[in-house]
Structure 1
Amino acid sequence: MRICFVGDSMVNGTGDPAYLGWVGRVLRAERKRRAELTGYNLGVRRDRSDQIRARWRAEVEARLPAECEGRVVFSFGANDAVQDVSPSTTLGHAEAVLAEAKARWPVLMVGVVPMDAEPVRGRCQTLDRALASLCARLDVPFVSVFDGLVASSDWFDEIRAGDGAHPASLGYGRMAEIVLESPAWQRWIRSAA
């Protein structure tokens, strides 16, 4: 199985001194069950939904040949919220990306992370809820991490101690736990392609 994780700096794991982020921690945990698992981190710092829409297909196709079991995880939206992109614009890009990817591979989406500053955090929450509704309509599994991270002091303590946007190891560790423990992830990762 090969999984491409497509998104922004949160997918990339920016700020983690261990260079794992949540993606590396999720892959490490899942590799214990599937020794042949290969993961590709396609997170790009500062990417908005329009930039992800422009690049995802070529990057994923290069890593998921037809003879391999391929899957795609998307996670983005925080940069859209920070830059005050309208939710309808973000949702339009997300719908196009998810519909196209779903036609070829099993797809899952991880929701928007909370930012420390208001009103950006409010925009992140609104976008997270809207993406959850979109994924339900498209029948794409969705993992919301927003509420779990809002309740995590590690997430905000590390953001405040760092660059103001990205956590370090504990915050990403908590995000990985939320993803791994979610029923949506568990069903998706164990389903046949």
Structure 2
Amino acid sequence: MTDTRICFIGDSFVNGTGDETMLGWAGRLCALAQRNGHNITYYNLGIRRNTSTDILQRWHEIALRQQPDCDNRIVLSCGVNDTTLENGALRVEFETSLQNMRALFARMQSSPGLVIGPPPVDDHAQNQHIQTLSNAMQIEAEKAGLPFTPLFDALVQDQAYLTEIAQNDGAHPTSTGYNKMTRLILNSGKWWF
């Protein structure tokens, strides 16, 4: 059986922050693939508050987990932290985010890759930035030949999801919301298993 190693790199949504089951969408996807007979080694490299700049600086973490005789894959998801305001300015300016995305997507060319777009938060102004960045990420991912699964449009229209994050910390869902993210990724047809 093929030894498939998947590195999920990104932010707190990759990490599954807020999920009382501690699985998030990444853990759910891998658990389901394992149940369906795939031999998955799952590395969660999600770090809270990480921006695209932070992720670019720690990309070397992936190589430490890949093996030449394995089916190595990479899933990248980030963007919400780039669009967060700190001291009246975006943590990462839009053009810098795009430059970072292009660099990250170029580094993903060595393995089969998948990009998951950022979800909405409980802040209308920030959501405008997230939506703009998600759309731009999709264009850049497609230019790089990488499949992209958006989360924003479906979740921003899901009142139950928005209520859930508002009642939690304003950004992260609980297991119910992570189940919705997982279904969106599975239903996109871009997830491998």
Structure richer in helix, relative to its length? 1
Counterpart of 2:161 in structure 1 is 155
Displacement over 3 Å in runs of 4+: none
Deviation at 1:148, TM superposition (A): 1.4
Alignment partners' CA distance in 2, 1:23 and 1:154: 21
Tell me, what secondary structure is at the counterpart of 1:119? helix
Preserved CA contact (<8 Å) 1:8 1:46: yes
Identity among equivalent pairs (%): 39
Aligned residues between the structures = 185
Counterpart of 1:126 in structure 2 is 132
Deviation at 1:149, TM superposition (A): 1.0
Alignment partners' CA distance in 2, 1:152 and 1:41: 27
Deviation at 1:115, TM superposition (A): 1.2
Which consecutive unaligned segments of at least 5 residues does structure 1 have?
Answer: none
Counterpart of 1:24 in structure 2 is 27
Structure 1 residue 91 and structure 2 residue 117: aligned?
no
From 33, 38, 44, the equivalent of 1:35 is 38
Preserved CA contact (<8 Å) 2:120 2:171: no
Deviation at 1:181, TM superposition (A): 0.9
Which digits, 9 at most, give the CA deviation of each residue in 1:92-140, with x for residues without a partner? 11111110221x1111100111111021000000000000000111111
Deviation at 1:32, TM superposition (A): 2.2
Using the size of structure 2 for normalisation, the TM-score is 0.92
Tell me, what secondary structure is at the counterpart of 2:68? coil
Tell me, what secondary structure is at the counterpart of 2:177? helix
Structure richer in strand, relative to its length? 2
The root-mean-square deviation of aligned C-alpha atoms, in Å, is 1.2
Amino acid at match of 1:31: Q
Amino acid at match of 2:80: A
